[in-house]
Chains A and B, each alone.
Chain A
């Protein structure tokens, strides 16, 4: 266990959330991974010009030195002339703007008086124009965590970049479908006390964004960057976390790596699938923004702010579920963050809510971790199972087995799972124990489950076994 205090551990987060509205500056839909065929390929070059400081930006220069040709692949279904930098932007999407203000409010931030869209120079090709459009929405907020307040200095609303699909020595190819999707960038101060605190904070920020109902779902819709430094070492930015559960491990590995390195300069590292990190690029310079001259400034009046409702926080909703249905807190949180229609079933069926929650949340996870799924479970499948469970036609264990069968596209045979009487079970177990003297209880339990899986309740079987095995 590392002693973070002694190490002089400093850590801040930068979390990116895609929103599910249309693209930020054009009317293209938000398809992210557009599976439609590529309609065109075009070739472009980018140049770095003088930055604000009068010097070409370091990171920008680094990219230019690679002297690449960029190839952009686009589908007519998900990108237009705006993504191609062939038509000026439309005014900022009002839905995305509203959502970003809601999040800023939930994070106790000061909302800007004017929305001023800036161009942030990015010349690795991931933005066709050579800059990312980004705008400051909120400042100076905070978030309550189990280890105290975490400051949230900034919330930006920006456009997502194109996705790299391949590269050669002289070219880099990007797909345009992701370019322009609205992205919230939320940064914390370097107040995070340890890796678990970083994970908790990332989780809580996610809950805030999801509370708006406009968070995009799916792979790549959330990206976390972690800035860390320890005493006598330069600040390192870690990019490309997909899963927030991996945050503590990655930070620990990174600290161990840094402890071995001396005289390393500040840079950006990429998180690899095995949770180690590799060099990505130098740290971007600070002077790389100027106003987007193609767009007008938008006034944010008090009257406008009054029209924006503050959504109920998912953490609060989760707490309400927890209390009302007597659920474990992790299940309550998962129900709200994954938008699972738990309350619909809980109100409809006379089944213990805990059992409903367990089947809705854990069953699909367990099935997919153990089997190759052929069918996604739908509302009617759950209703089928809950109907039978409510009428005591199947046991709790059988409910899982039925869901598994449906997922594997097997027609469930309910007769197989019909509950048997305790007497029948007792007779079977008595016989079993006599025939297998000296076999352990767990061994015998296996035989019982093999014969009656789904039809008996494991707890009663165990009690009976204990009774006869002496």
Chain B
């Protein structure tokens, strides 16, 4: 090896531009194998102009070496300017102490199942890396109030950003929940990334039929490594809700407003993320919250499923199903519909009361007629379900002629107020479990996904 390097010295020198860096890399090649430094090690870097001490960090930039200075700031050093590196102190990873928490018989048992996302993330202050945490002790250390409410258990079932979730993961979560119910927990908190949390809430509502205990989905919009995280209020409120009420079934627990005051329990099938970043991003759609949690817990409805002696039936979703969602927009092409030819169902998120361009109004709009024909063809193969991109309100395809044409073409879901996301889940679930009765069950309210009486208050609060 050395011989090779010396033989090609002029060329290598040219490549490395100057001798010092060349010698450094030669040295590194020799020394790194037996004595390489790893993230967390305290090292001393000698550059062309100075000596810098710091903790070695992993870096995304190949040309830079990243150091955490004694001041706590991170510094990037150009590798091409480094002459030598000396390890001052090897990093010895801390062994996490697992202390047994005493079980208090007078308290209920709640298990926190983690699926990743912002709420269960933990930053390594040493390396800056973000990882998931799920040890019961970690959770209790972080949110000590939890152990006054219940005996807390905690475990990770999968670790992902929620946008990566597939049908498989709904089934996985449901099976893990079933296991916990069999081992007699009093309630389950499922921590979840917020992006698709409302899809999961709907999916679990359908899959977990006759759920005898509460399963509360909790997310956070500010990661729990931040002092200002919303995770604390959301987790503690959900634990209190499980302990102090007779609610059974799936629900969501998040902030009611941008203040750290009240949390809100939201219906699993009638909620949507409507803000990219606010901590009160989740709002009930065409519905009211189930309960508000402040110092006390106040139910806003009496119409919720209660803890009874029910026998859980697991009705999973077929993982190979292909369900599409298509958003109607101006200047649509019939090809956009035809793309779904091989699918099992299509949700069209229409405009207004439930429309998509299907009428030729002049010589420039004949494409619209093609769209109608494509829908007609497609609806012979699969259910085509109309929802509205208005988000709030009900579908009515009787008011205007395009709506009537769409119904004639086989589009369903007239007069329904189901959300696009819940419609997507319901379609997959019905095709998996009740394919023959699909059209009959579609219009039936199975899990609180349909509200036939919209009240003025079932809309955005105009004070916000």
A→B interface (CB under 8 Å): 42-54, 60, 81, 84-88, 110, 112-114, 116, 118-121, 123, 128-131, 134-136, 139-140, 154, 156, 286-291, 293, 297, 299
What is the chain A residue whose CB lies nearest that of B225?
A: A49
**CA–CA, A46 to B392, complex, Å?**
34
Residues from chain A with a CB closer than 8 A to the CB of B71 are: 136, 154, 286, 289
A121 touches B73 (CB 8 A): no
Most chain A C-beta atoms within 10 Å of own C-beta, residue among B50, B60, B74, B126? B74
A289 touches B278 (CB 8 A): no
**CA–CA, A4 to B449, complex, Å?**
78
A49 touches B61 (CB 8 A): no
The 8 closest A-B pairs by CB, nearest first: A130-B227, A52-B125, A289-B72, A114-B76, A46-B227, A136-B73, A130-B228, A291-B128
Do A131 and B74 contact each other (CB < 8 Å), given the known contacts A54-B94, A113-B64, A290-B123? no
Interface of B is mostly: loop
Residues from chain B with a CB closer than 8 A to the CB of A128 are: 228
B116-130: which have CB < 8 Å to A?
123, 125-126, 128, 130
Do A288 and B259 contact each other (CB < 8 Å), given the known contacts A51-B125, A54-B94, A87-B277? no
Question: Can you list 16 contacts pairing A with B, beta carbon distance less than 8 Å?
Answer: A42-B257, A43-B259, A45-B233, A49-B225, A49-B227, A52-B126, A87-B278, A113-B77, A114-B64, A123-B227, A128-B228, A129-B222, A131-B227, A140-B50, A289-B71, A297-B76
A118 touches B226 (CB 8 A): no
What is the chain A residue whose CB lies nearest that of B143?
A: A47
A118 touches B228 (CB 8 A): no
B227 touches A121 (CB 8 A): yes
Residues from chain A with a CB closer than 8 A to the CB of B259 are: 42-44
B136-175 interface bits toward A, Cβ cutoff 8 Å, 1 = contact, 0 = none: 0000011000000000000000000000000000000000
Of the candidates B60, B232, B278, the one whose C-beta lies within 8 Å of that of A86 is B278
Most chain B C-beta atoms within 10 Å of own C-beta, residue among A43, A52, A121, A131? A52
Residues from chain B with a CB closer than 8 A to the CB of A118 are: 72-74
What is the chain A residue whose CB lies nearest that of B69?
A: A136
Q: B137: shortest Cβ distance to chain A, in Å?
A: 12
B5 interface residue, CB < 8 Å from A?
no
A47 touches B232 (CB 8 A): yes
Residues from chain A with a CB closer than 8 A to the CB of B260 are: 43-45
**CA–CA, A49 to B74, complex, Å?**
20
B279 interface residue, CB < 8 Å from A?
yes
Of the candidates B94, B125, B128, B228, the one whose C-beta lies within 8 Å of that of A85 is B228
**CA–CA, A48 to B143, complex, Å?**
11
**CA–CA, A45 to B145, complex, Å?**
14
**CA–CA, A299 to B276, complex, Å?**
28
Most chain A C-beta atoms within 10 Å of own C-beta, residue among B72, B141, B279? B72
B53-102: which have CB < 8 Å to A?
60-61, 64, 69-78, 94
**CA–CA, A81 to B281, complex, Å?**
13
Of the candidates B72, B76, B261, the one whose C-beta lies within 8 Å of that of A120 is B72
B228 touches A116 (CB 8 A): no
